[in-house]
Chains A and B, each alone.
Chain A
Amino acid sequence: MEKINYQNFRIEAENICVDYNGKVALYDANLRLKSGQICGLVGMNGAGKTTFFNALTGFVNISKGKIRINGESVRSAQKDQTIAYVPQNEGIDSQFPISVWNVVMMGRYGSMNIFRCPRESDVQAVKDAIERVDLTNHLSTPIGNLSGGQRKRTFLARAIAQRASILLLDEPFSGVDIRTEKLISELFIQFKNEGKTILLSTHDMIHVREFCDLVLLINKTVVAYGETSEVFTPENITTTFGGISPDFLFGPES
């Protein structure tokens, strides 16, 4: 019976807590997302955004609460490669000697044999993914020689090649050029139409209004969660950012 309740939700996090050596990073956080929904994760630095992502991917263990991905445990989501994580540009070693092709191929590793020998279908998936992010001219370029935007697109391509139904994106718009920003925006619309579920963290309030059906405001715990039009109010934003007004944070237009 319990499973049927979860089936409607791609992501279901219930009262989750995460602590690092006794230091609380996130407590009593809840989130429910369905197929085709885009949710913005908004909060200050250190508010627990990355911790939230880490909990959903199973990179850190939760000390309390429950996480269900497509009604299953995080571990089976890992086995099925249900979730793809697109890191911040700062989160990766850009000097690592690896080409665009090989990074995107890593999206297929989970479904390959132990030697990670690419099959024809893997090669095709990687080719298609690279084409979708418009990097076909950079197949063998080392990632250290790419611009910030191109690097971001490489990791998006890895997520596409993985064919995950849930995408977690850490600051997808930070440090990218206009062209990449436009391409990411277009991809979001395509992902939504394909029924993918997207959770993205961002500092940019305009992007939240533009793309996100839902917004999750956090400051160690959930401050507010719901439809963007209802929840993304100056009062809630002020509370999330520790009493600083949104006018001050983002200019009077926000």
Chain B
Amino acid sequence: MELCSFLTLDSFITDPLTHDFMRKALLMSSLVAAVCGFLSSYLTLKGWALMGDAVSHSVMPGVVVAYALGLPFSLGAFIFGVGSVALIGFIKQKSRVKEDTVIGLVFTGFFALGIVLVSKIKSNIDLHSILFGSPLGISLSDVKQTIFISLLVVILLSIFRKDLMLYCFDPRHAKTVGINVFFLHYLLLTCLSLAAVVGLQSVGIILVVAMLITPGATAYLLTDKFDNMTVISVLSAIISSLIGIYVSFWFDLETGGSIVLAQTFIFLFAFLFAPRYGIFKLKKLFAGYK
């Protein structure tokens, strides 16, 4: 029956908008995508993909504990996110184990702790929605929290935009001219934890790292200018969220997975056809016709 609606593009887009939960999901996911997309360009350039993976998984026990204690879950997530990074740094410094091993070890430990806690603490936590996200079932208090955290991250990133760019590019120079590199390091980590918290609502803990890596990687293939990279990253993240939610609505698919798949397809498109860095280099293809 629903297939009839496909006959017009108009109804494909407008029909879902008649549902309150869909409007909320579209708005919230776009906001979350914008935040993650903004941060993504920094993480990609800093080479922090693995760190993003680690932090996003490590927030799991924080979310559970916060729920159990009736605290805002962002607070718990934040403490465990930053805590995991501190622990990674500590173990790396005090042992001969290599960094990627330490990262893998710590975040899986945290993640496992989170899963065990969920099973032990009797509460109304829905493990499925934490793991896979639930943008369609987002509550009003979550909406407020998401908007607050998103604005905070966007403001922080905007204020320190250029300093963070310098920190990613040449931290030694930053230090030499008296810029507080230590502060920038933890600022980026803080933003990463916060973005992971809001991101997990739309795509879940397992896939949130995609929100933090893929848009930046896509943008990196499409431009040589940092400002453009940020804009492309944000746009590609928002577009994938919208596509993902619509597709999941019409075809009854898992929403988080659909959003991330949409991002992956956009990345693949850039990978193949980016004007300068794509495999087929569209610019050259078109030049051939002139």
Contacts and interface: CB of A to CB of B under 8 A. Distances in A.
Contacts of B172: 54, 57, 59, 85, 87, 91
B163 A109 contact: yes
A144 B224 contact: yes
Of listed B166, B177, B178, residue having the most chain A CB within 10 A: B177
Interface of A: 21, 54, 57-59, 78-81, 83-85, 87, 91-93, 96-99, 102, 106-107, 109-110, 114-116, 142, 144-145, 158, 162
20 contacts: A57-B175, A58-B176, A78-B175, A85-B173, A87-B170, A87-B173, A96-B169, A96-B226, A97-B45, A97-B224, A97-B225, A97-B228, A98-B165, A106-B166, A109-B166, A109-B174, A109-B177, A114-B159, A142-B224, A144-B224
Contacts, number: 77
B226 A102 contact: yes
B226 A84 contact: no
B246 to A, nearest CB: 31
B225 A57 contact: no
B224 A78 contact: no
- The interface residues of chain B, by DSSP majority, are classed as helix
B176 A83 contact: yes
Given A115-B162, A142-B225, 19 more contacts: A54-B172, A57-B176, A58-B175, A58-B176, A78-B178, A79-B178, A81-B177, A83-B176, A85-B176, A92-B170, A97-B45, A97-B223, A97-B226, A102-B226, A109-B166, A110-B179, A114-B159, A144-B224, A158-B173
Nearest to B163: A116
Contacts of B165: 98
State the majority secondary structure of interface residues on A: mixed
Interface residues of B, number: 26
Contacts of A93: 45, 169
B229 interface: yes
**Pairs A-B, 3 closest by C-beta atoms:** A110-B177, A142-B224, A78-B178
A103 to B, nearest CB: 8
A58 B178 CA distance: 10
B220 interface: yes
B93 interface: yes
Nearest to B223: A97
A95 to B, nearest CB: 8
Contact of B176 (A59, A98, A99, A102): A59
Nearest to B168: A96
Nearest to B169: A96
Contacts of A92: 169-170
A85 to B, nearest CB: 5
Contacts of A84: 176
A59 B175 contact: yes
A81 B178 contact: yes
Contact of A99 (B93, B166, B179, B225): B225
A240 B93 CA distance: 31
Contacts of B175: 57-59, 78
